[in-house]
Structure 1
Amino acid sequence: MKWSGAGGRPVGWRACKSRPVLLPVALVSLAVLLGVDLIGGGGIRIGGLLVAVPALAAVFLGPLDVLLLSVLTVGAVVWASADNNTLGTANFPVVLATVVLVGGAAVLAARARGRRESQLAQARKVAEAAQRALLRPLPGRLGRVTISSMYLAAEEEAAIGGDLYAAGVDRRGDIRVLVGDVQGKGMAAVEVVGLLLSTFRLSARSGVPLEALPGYLDQGLRDDLVDLEESGEPGTLGPRPVETEFLERFVTAVVVDIAADASTVRIANCGHPPPLLIRGDRVIPLMPDVPELPLGLGDLCREDHHVDSYDLEIGDILMLYTDGVIESRNPEGAFYPLTDRLAHSTRDTPTVLLEDVQSDLTQYTAGLSDDIVMLALQRVA
């Protein structure tokens, strides 16, 4: 499983923001300002600008570095004042006190920013751990099928989203794969992801047939939401309140069953973008014969779901994805044409295919607006 933030900033950008680059830049800036003031003599006095160096450095550097710059700035102001014969003036103590106060405030600001960044880094680690706990790494191969997956976060700071995937082998030996997208974002969407994945994994162990699986998932999800409402928060006397927004969420999903001999693939699509079958030079969208509603709509969904069946040949690649792929836009506002782009992609292996799509998507878009999950499965025997 490959994880990536949406920003995808190049290594050079991160290097430019590192301490080994920024501290020398701040020191050189301080020296240049001091030099201009000294060379200019009484005609040009820019000593007041010296205090801007530690103030701006507080945005990028740590408190010790800012303290160093503040001390050097005090020395530079004294030097410049001595050169301009202003040490004995009544205004010099005011200038010096201003430099000291601004330097001290810059050190405190850098310290506070460092704490916030540390807290954010810890939150990212927790978010990534939670995401990985929910979206367990997929095996590289199940039976006669190789698998590759990729998760792209729309926001570098937010590793948790409403996109989901899972794969396993059911009691008959068939390979079953789920890809879905919860409506909305935030922790409520993440909680729905956890509930749905738990129900899906239970269905594989229970031997639920594919035709009945959407109804099983829908009912299980709704039952879990009711249980949450009735269970109550720890330490409270009343039931746990469940927001209307939370209860009204739905999930677009597609479930794929690949026979144990990998000769056929059966698909149950619940309002999700169609899987793509890549066979030779062709890219074939596997549109459902009977449109079905997303999960979570309760009585609106049918008990038995329509299932489409297709042959799977050796070398065929089946690609599953969430709508974040096809809803990504270029700077002109045009949607990403996934099917057309796949016709020119490298498809030696599922991993190479997804990496090629990611690279092309990054170049096409001005930035991801939604999280993305992509899975590619290839019959190899």
Structure 2
Amino acid sequence: MVLRQWREGLRDGTRPSRALLAAPFTLIAVVTVVDINVPPEVHLGPFLVAAPALTASFAGPRLTACVGAVAVLAQAAVALTRSSIHDLNHTYQIAALFLISAIVTFFAHLRERGTTEMVRLRTVAEAAQRSVLRPLPARSGPLHLASFYLAAEAGAQLGGDLYAAARTDAGTRVIIGDVRGKGLDSISGAAGVLGAFRALARQEGHLPGLAARLETSVAAHRIDSLNEQDEQDEHTDDPGITEAFVTAAVLDIPDAAPELRLVSCGHPPPLLLRSGRVHALDATEPGPPLGVGALSPAGPTQDVFSFRAGDMLLLYTDGVTEARDRSGRFYPLAERVASWSGLGPGQLLERMRADLLRHAGGNLGDDAAVVAVERLAAPGGAGPAPARSAEAEDGR
């Protein structure tokens, strides 16, 4: 128990428990009592060094210095009890113990300073995450939403995957995307796409028009990145990545009609959960990723699918479906989701998150983002069903 608390304290920087704090003092007491009672030719004083060394691994410099001082006093008590404080052997032991205690106290100071800096950086990262990737609202009109984000990089709070929802006069617009690459460039790209979506979602009435304006924004960001890369390449022999694009799915879910509109920009198709069955909403003519729209002169096109009361929509990035287990098998998203029918968005994603991490052994190869959207109640003025239904897609 104490060892586990020690490991957890090192990992998250929290204060150690009382039981853990008692460990070095218990060690000093045990060594002192035994050292006093063993034969004269046996010396256990060097074991006292373990007390301040152990303390330095989980506590700050003050407590480490305190434990070191107690250890030195204990060694002096042993010397007085067994022979004399002036005994050469005990004198060397006391001096060595004092010196080692001072050294480990200094290292405890360095560790505490590093931990403080790490906590500060983690706080800044979490604030940046909340600013860039804002939590989705639990409700948006007749919709119930939930989401989760898993960064592949250890210790990271944010990566290149993105999602957002915006409320409009007629319904809710949602985007999910994946910026090519990793690191700061992908985070910058994700922030740019999210900023553009939030600014344009309420301005552009036509969904393909919104996707086209997002394409323009990402393309402009790509040109700026290329210009910056050219400047860097002039001063280095190691040119960086000069390509940037974003796969995305942009959706418009009206309040007054049991349907959803989808513009796919090279993104994995959403999954529709209905009556225990899973349907992939494949776009008729998926467009290229945002940032390379010049490859498709026709511009973005939208598909319309039925989305009735009780339906659940699952949006995800390829970090989910490309997660592998130890044998190299991909995560069977559709199969797992079908087995969890009847759960709400929050419960579904909670189970899916745990199952995904278990499948990947706790280490994802890529960032993973998932959004679940459930229509809670059919609007009173719902119109006729759209031309393309989920059942029709499933029967193709």
Fold shared per TM-score above 0.5: yes
Distance change (3 Å), C-alpha of 1:77 and 1:241: same
Cα shift at 1:229: 7.6
- For the 8 Å contact 1:315–1:378, the answer to whether it is kept is yes
Match in the other structure for 1:378: 374
Match of 1:336 among 331, 336, 344: 331
**Equivalent residue, structure 2, for 1:345:** 340
SS in 2 for 1:70: helix
| Deviation of the 1:71 alpha carbon | 0.7
1:316 is aligned to: 311
Other structure's SS at 1:261 match: coil
Offset, 1:352: 1.6
Q: Which amino acid aligns with 1:135?
A: L
Alignment of 1:110-121 (within 5 A): 110-121=108-119
More relative contact order, 1 or 2 (CA 8 Å, 6+ apart): 1
1:145 aligns with 2:143: yes
Partner of 1:196: 193
The alignment of Structure 1 onto Structure 2 pairs a total of residues equal to 364
Cα distance in 2 for residues equivalent to 1:46 and 1:249: 65
**Residues 276, 342 of structure 2: 8 Å contact kept:** no
Q: Secondary structure at the match of 1:188?
A: helix
Question: What CA distance in whole angstroms lies between the structure 1 residues aligned with 2:264 and 2:215?
Answer: 13
Distance 2:134 2:261 in 1: 23
SS at match of 2:201: helix
Secondary structure of residue in 2 paired with 1:206: coil
1:305 counterpart residue number: 300
The 3-state SS of whatever aligns with 2:202 is helix
Question: Runs (4+) of structure 1 moved beyond 6 Å?
Answer: 10-13
Residue 108 of structure 1 deviates from its aligned partner by 1.5
Deviation of 1:29 after TM superposition, in Å, equals 2.7
TM norm structure 1: 0.84
Indicate if the aligned counterparts of 1:33 and 1:47 stay in contact, CA closer than 8 A. Answer: yes
SS at match of 1:29: helix
Change (3 A) 1:204 1:301: same
Paired with 2:285 and 2:215, the residues of 1 have a C-alpha distance of 18
What runs of 5+ residues in structure 1 fail to find an aligned partner?
A: 1-9, 233-238
Structure 2 CA distance, aligned partners of 1:11 and 1:344?
Answer: 37
1:346 deviates by 5.2
- Alpha carbons of 1:246 and 1:347: their partners in 2 closer, same or farther (altered >3 Å)? farther
8 Å CA contact 1:149–1:376 kept in 2: the answer is yes
Give yes or no for the alignment of 1:367 onto 2:338. no
Residue identity in the other structure for 1:285: A
Write the distance in 1 (CA, Å) between the matches of 2:332 and 2:114.
40
What percentage of residue pairs aligned between the two structures are identical? Answer: 36
1:148-188: CA deviation from partner (whole Å, max 9, x where unpaired): 122234456321221211111346x1421001121222222
Residues 345 and 302 of structure 1, relative CA distance in 2, 3 Å threshold: farther
Does 1:282 find its partner at 2:280? no
Residue 225 and residue 290 in structure 1: after superposition, are their counterparts in 2 closer, same or farther (change >3 A)? closer
Cα deviation for residue 277 of structure 1 reads 0.7
Evaluate the alpha carbon distance shift between residue 333 and residue 62 of structure 1 in structure 2; reply closer, same or farther with a 3 A threshold: farther
Q: Partner residue of 1:221?
A: 218
Alpha-carbon separation, structure 1, partners of 2:304 and 2:9: 51
Q: Would the alpha carbon gap of residues 297 and 29 (structure 1) be closer, same or farther in structure 2, given more than 3 Å must change?
A: farther
Q: Partner amino acid for 1:189?
A: S
Q: Name whichever of 349-358 and 321-330 sits farther off.
A: 321-330
Change (3 A) 1:330 1:75: farther
Q: How does 1:110-189 map to 2 (within 5 A)?
A: 110-154=108-152, 157-170=155-168, 173-189=170-186
1:266–1:186 Cα change, 3 Å: same
RMSD after superposition: 3.0
Are residues 120 and 12 of structure 1, via their aligned partners in 2, closer, same or farther at CA, if it must alter by over 3 Å?
Answer: closer
Aligned residue for 1:363, secondary structure, equals helix
Q: Distance in 1 between matches of 2:56 and 2:357?
A: 32
Counterparts of 2:186 and 2:39, CA distance in 1? 64
Partner of residue 21 from structure 2, selected from 23, 27, 31:
23
Letter in 1 for 2:260: V
Cα separation, 1, equivalents of 2:320 and 2:204: 32
Q: Distance in 1 between matches of 2:321 and 2:164?
A: 21
Amino acid at match of 1:249: A
How far 1:83 moved relative to its partner? 4.9
Rounded to whole Å, the distance in 1 between the matches of 2:374 and 2:130 is 24
